[in-house]
A and B are shown apart, each in its own frame.
Chain A
């Protein structure tokens, strides 16, 4: 079955450390997205990519970086510049804007 796979499910970051969250999809979708969700809050867009080798900043891109070298993969790096990284991170993809976004199961990031 096709879908989106996020790993790891839980991740712990030490102070000053960069960590990378993985997102892989086998749906052949062109667009991919990263969202951050804080307790009791909605989804806030970090970065998105509509085609390979191209991506745009979302509403809260500071302290994060991404790459899109392959259509299937859209990893997110949480850098040490992100001072409050504790959150639930969701990756999504869709074929185009008229199609629903499919979400992965998320990665929960915490600070040690």
Chain B
């Protein structure tokens, strides 16, 4: 039931682009994306709801393909501050109003100068 994230880790030079993928085996209601720096709390990036809409702000955007139960996070022209571990959290469609998120194991992104 845990979503699968890929890649597990990636190293980029400043200014390069990255794509992080999140896949689920279950029908999804929403996908949440968070970034966590070492020893700190996760910070919210964006939510994508059922409907396949792409969202974004600044140089970080995301898409949600509900037919494939997949979401992708796009980071363009990466900055040093983008370093951290990225987690997707998925909420499945449920008749019981299940509100919980299930998080993936994360993608560690390292940006080098």
Contact = CB atoms under 8 A, between A and B. Distances in A.
Contacts of A42: 2, 87, 103-106
Interface stretch (B12-20, B36-44, B52-60, B71-79): B36-44
A2 interface: no
A54 B49 CA distance: 26
A3 B41 CA distance: 12
A106 B41 CA distance: 7
Contacts, number: 54
B25 interface: no
B82 interface: no
Interface in A67-109: 90, 96-106
Interface string A28-63: 000101010000011111001010000010110000
A100 B42 CA distance: 11
Contacts of B49: 98
Contacts of B47: 98-100
